[in-house]
Amino acid sequence: MTNKCLSLCLIAALFVSSSLTAQTASPAKKPAATTKKAAQPASTKAAPAKSASAQPAPAIQRTASGTVDTAKIDPIKLANQMMMVFMERMKAGNYSEAREIANQMIFGHDSFKSTESKQYKSFHSMMEKELYLLLEGRQGRKPEVEWVEQPISDGFYLISILDFQEGKPEEALANMQRAVFWNPVRSAFYSERGFMLLRNSAGPNILMAQVAYIKALELADNAEDFAAALRGLSFIFVERRMPDVALACLLVARNFLPQDSEIEEEMFFIRRNFPALYDSMDLAGARRTLSSNRILADYAPEHVQVLIRLADIFKSPKDAPHALNLLRRALEMSPTNKEVVRRLQVLEKK
C-alpha cells in the first residue's frame, strides 16, 4: 500500500471541524504618494531607523504585567488565522517563517502552571472542552479547567509537523506530545502521531501507532478525522497481514468520505492483492469485522452526549436556534438516537 503524507490533510481538517470561518484583517489603505518631501521643523529630529534585526512583536499581545488580555482574543479565530498563514508559508517551502508563526502561537506557554486542582488547556472548540470534562469525570477526576485563550496546542502541532518535514522525527514526536498535553481530545493530533510512529528513524512502531489511531478514532467528531484514523489503521492491518480488517477500515472510511480518491487508491491495493476478499465484503460485513475487532465503525457516543450537554445550556427561547443546531449535528452523528429525536421534536414545536 502506498504510504501517503497526511500532514497537510490533517491540518486542513482542523478548519473543517471548526464552526467559525477564519477571518483576515483587510489591509490598511495606503496613503497617496507625494512628489515633494515635506519640510521638517528645525526643532525636531528624524526618528531613528528601525534596526533590521529587530524582532517582530509576538502575535499574542500581553499587558504590562505580562499576562494575556483575554478579553481581546477569540481563540478559534486566532488559531484559524495563524494556521492559514502557516500553511501558505509551508506550502511555499518557507519553513523558517512557518516556524516563526508556530512559535508565536505558543508564546508564553510556560507561564501557565497547572496544579492538582486546576489545569490549563488549549482547546479548539467548546465541544472539545466539554468532551474533556466528560472523560475526566468518568475517571473520577473533576479538575477546574481553564481554556487558555491562545492556540498553544495547535502551535506545538504545527512545530511537530515542521520537525518531521525537516527530518527530525524524535523532536517531532516530542512536540506532538506537547500538543496532546495542551489538548488531549484532538483527534488529528493522535492520527499524526500514528503516522510519525510508523516512519520513525529507529523503525516503525506498529503497536504504538495502532494505539494512536484507535484513540484518534474515538475522539473523531467529523468525517475527515474519522476517515483519517481508519486509513491509518488500514495500513497497520496490511502490515500485520490482516487484510480483511484493513479492507473493512477502508470500506467504512469510504462511507464517511465517498468522494475521497485516496481511499479508492488504497482499496485498489487490496482488490489487486486479495480479489476474492474484496468481492466478498460489503459495508455491512465491514462493520461486523470492525466490531469483532473492537474497532469503532461510527462516532463514539460521547460526542452526542457532549452536544446534548451544550444544547442544554441554551434555556432561553431566544437561544433556541443554537440548541437546534447542536441537536441537528447530534442527529447527523447518531440518526437513530431517540433522546436527540425527542429533544428536536420538542424544540421544533415551539
**Residue 202 binned pLDDT confidence (cut-offs 50, 70, 90):** confident
State yes or no: pLDDT of 61 exceeds 60.
no
Report how far residue 101's alpha carbon sits from residue 105's, in angstroms, rounded to the nearest whole number: 6
In a domain, 92, yes or no: no
Cell readout for 46 is 528624524
State yes or no: pLDDT of 121 exceeds 90.
yes
Across 194-208, average pLDDT: 91
**Residue 72 binned pLDDT confidence (cut-offs 50, 70, 90):** low
Report helix angle 152-165 to 75-91, nearest 10. 10
Q: Over pLDDT 90: what percentage of the chain?
A: 63
Q: What pLDDT, on the 0 to 100 scale, is given for residue 14?
A: 52
Of 93-97, 192-196, 333-337, give the lowest mean pLDDT range. 93-97
- The answer, as to whether pTM is greater than 0.85, is no
User: In Å, what is the CA distance from 111 to each residue of 30, 44, 107, 108, 315?
Assistant: 38, 42, 9, 6, 37
Partners of 62 in beta bridges: 68
State yes or no: pLDDT of 302 exceeds 80.
yes
Q: Are 189 and 211 in contact (CB under 8 A)?
A: no
Q: Are 270 and 251 in contact (CB under 8 A)?
A: no
In a domain, 171, yes or no: no
Cell readout for 50 is 528601525
In a domain, 244, yes or no: no
**How many domains does one find in the chain?**
1
Closest to 151 measured CA to CA, from 201, 189, 115: 189
Closest to 145 measured CA to CA, from 176, 112, 175: 112
Q: What pLDDT, on the 0 to 100 scale, is given for residue 4?
A: 43
25: number of CA atoms within 13 Å, CB side? Answer: 5
Report how far residue 192's alpha carbon sits from residue 317's, in angstroms, rounded to the nearest whole number: 42
Give 10-38 pLDDT, tens digit per residue.
554 454 444 433 322 333 333 333 333 33
Cell readout for 201 is 528513524
| Sequential DSSP letters for 246-277 | HHHHHHHHHHH-TT-HHHHHHHHHHHHH-HHH
Report how far residue 250's alpha carbon sits from residue 197's, in angstroms, rounded to the nearest whole number: 20
Could you identify the residue written with the cell 515633494? Answer: 36
Q: Which residue has the higher pLDDT, 63 or 108?
A: 108
Q: Are 125 and 303 in contact (CB under 8 A)?
A: no
In a domain, 223, yes or no: no
Q: Which residue has the higher pLDDT, 267 or 69?
A: 267
State yes or no: pLDDT of 323 exceeds 60.
yes
What domain range includes position 326? 302-349
**Residue 131 binned pLDDT confidence (cut-offs 50, 70, 90):** very high
In a domain, 88, yes or no: no
In a domain, 313, yes or no: yes
In whole angstroms, how large is the CA radius of gyration of the chain?
24
Closest to 270 measured CA to CA, from 261, 281, 255, 257: 281
* Buried residues in 134-168 as b, exposed as e (16+ CB within 10 A): ebbeeeeeebebebbbbbbbbbbbbbbbbbbbeee
Partners of 144 in beta bridges: 118
In a domain, 316, yes or no: yes
Give 216-232 pLDDT, tens digit per residue.
999 999 999 999 999 99
In a domain, 308, yes or no: yes
Q: What pLDDT, on the 0 to 100 scale, is given for residue 11?
A: 52
Q: What pLDDT, on the 0 to 100 scale, is given for residue 350?
A: 67
**Residue 7 binned pLDDT confidence (cut-offs 50, 70, 90):** low
State yes or no: pLDDT of 238 exceeds 70.
yes
